[in-house]
């Protein structure tokens, strides 16, 4: 009899170990950082009336740009960028049938599983190999839910970082325009060497200021809309106790997709392929959470810049290349 009890307890401990391992893996994934460097993995900002019209393809970004995901500009049927078409409608919410069915099954399995565990037969014990495996999955979900609940219950809000106020400047490096870069427009904007130098300088300066969490410097380089997105991302990283470090940004190739004048402002969308080093650092310990501080990466993005007459170019949008 005692040998039987030992075997039962041994099997329970093994299953509990598997459940905890799965739960820890899932919980770690929920805490993994999502945002890395400004604009990474998403498209945001405004391009005037062309916000929802993809910039023309270029040699640097031959497959074009991803559509805008975050923008204060709202599409309208009369917008030139929409080609006279009605704006895309948000998909209707899916019926609750699937969720209700899943909830009912989960509730039933949970009740049966808890009863089995309390009676000493294990979660869904006696229901066959497949149901035992299914029971193991539900055990993992229960543990994950409990861990996440405790984490949310006892998590303390992280203090907001004291963003720097100092500015930053680097020497510009010439970026050559692509042939036939400027698209046809009723009011074309001529882009010269000094403009390309300003675009490249902003590419490095924006990344550098973002890495320093320097919102004051970013306000002098980007539109208020873009600064608000950067601020949201930095605050989210701060709440997780993380710092996004972006260093050694270097332009590798760049060309003009289109330039135009709209409502008294000049716009220029530029495709840029650049290298950089990026790592997410734990603020308290300086431990590398993701990325590699010694590994160079490459990315291709389409940056749109805007200026008013007599003013400097300001970053207005970032779009990921397809």
pTM of the model: 0.61
Q: How many CA atoms lie within 13 A of 135 on its CB side?
A: 22
Task: Give the tens place of pLDDT for each residue, 98-155.
Answer: 333 334 434 444 444 544 544 555 544 544 555 565 666 667 777 777 777 666 666 5
Task: Return the CATH class of domain 44-72+164-320.
Answer: alpha beta
> Rounded CA gap, 126 and 116, in Å?
9
- The candidate with the shortest Cα–Cα distance to 53, out of 75, 70, 34, is 75
Tell whether the model's pLDDT for residue 284 goes beyond 70.
yes
| Token code pair at residue 266 | 């000049």
H runs (alpha helix) in 123-269: 129-154, 193-211, 215-219, 224-239
Helix axes 97-118, 129-154, angle to 10 degrees: 100
- Residue ranges of the chain that CATH labels 3.10.450.240: 44-72+164-320
**Greatest CA span in the chain, whole angstroms?**
91
Where do we find the tokens 């397809």? Answer: 322
The Cα–Cα gap between 233 and 227 comes to 10
Give per-residue pLDDT as tens, 212-259. 999 999 999 999 999 999 999 999 999 999 999 999 999 999 999 999
What is the SS3 string spanning 240-270? CCEEEEEEEEEEEEEEEEEEEEECCEEEEEE
Query: What's the CA gap between 200 and 170, in Å, rounded?
Result: 10
CA dist 16 to 20, 22, 112, 122, 127, Å? 6, 10, 18, 10, 19
């Amino acid at each position: 009899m005692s040998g039987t009890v030992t075997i039962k307890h041994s099997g329970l401990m093994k299953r509990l170990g598997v459940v905890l391992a799965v739960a820890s893996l899932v919980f770690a994934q929920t805490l993994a950082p999502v945002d890395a460097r400004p604009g990474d993995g998403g498209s945001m900002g405004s391009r005037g009336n062309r916000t929802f019209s993809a910039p023309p393809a270029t040699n640097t970004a031959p497959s074009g740009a991803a559509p805008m995901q975050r923008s204060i500009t709202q599409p309208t049927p009369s917008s030139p960028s929409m080609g006279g078409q009605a704006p895309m409608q948000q998909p209707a919410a899916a019926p609750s049938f699937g969720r209700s069915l899943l909830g009912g099954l989960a509730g039933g399995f949970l009740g049966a599983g808890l009863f089995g565990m309390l009676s000493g037969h294990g979660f869904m014990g006696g229901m066959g190999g497949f149901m035992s495996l299914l029971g193991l999955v539900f055990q993992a979900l229960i543990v994950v839910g409990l861990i996440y609940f405790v984490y949310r219950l006892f998590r303390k809000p992280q203090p907001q970082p004291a963003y720097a106020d100092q500015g930053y400047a680097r020497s510009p490096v010439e970026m050559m325009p692509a042939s036939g870069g400027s698209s046809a427009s009723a009011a074309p904007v001529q882009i010269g060497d000094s403009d390309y130098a300003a675009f490249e300088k902003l590419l490095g300066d924006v990344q550098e200021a973002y890495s320093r969490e320097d919102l004051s410097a970013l306000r002098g380089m980007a539109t208020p809309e873009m600064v608000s997105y950067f601020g949201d991302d930095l605050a989210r990283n701060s709440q997780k106790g993380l710092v996004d470090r972006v260093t050694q940004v270097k332009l590798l190739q760049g060309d003009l997709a289109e330039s135009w004048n709209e409502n008294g402002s000049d716009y220029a969308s530029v495709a840029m392929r650049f290298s950089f080093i990026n790592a997410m650092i734990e603020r308290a310990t300086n431990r590398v959470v993701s990325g590699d501080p010694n590994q160079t990466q490459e990315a291709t993005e389409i940056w749109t810049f805007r200026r008013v007459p007599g003013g400097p170019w300001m970053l207005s949008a970032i779009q990921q290349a397809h």
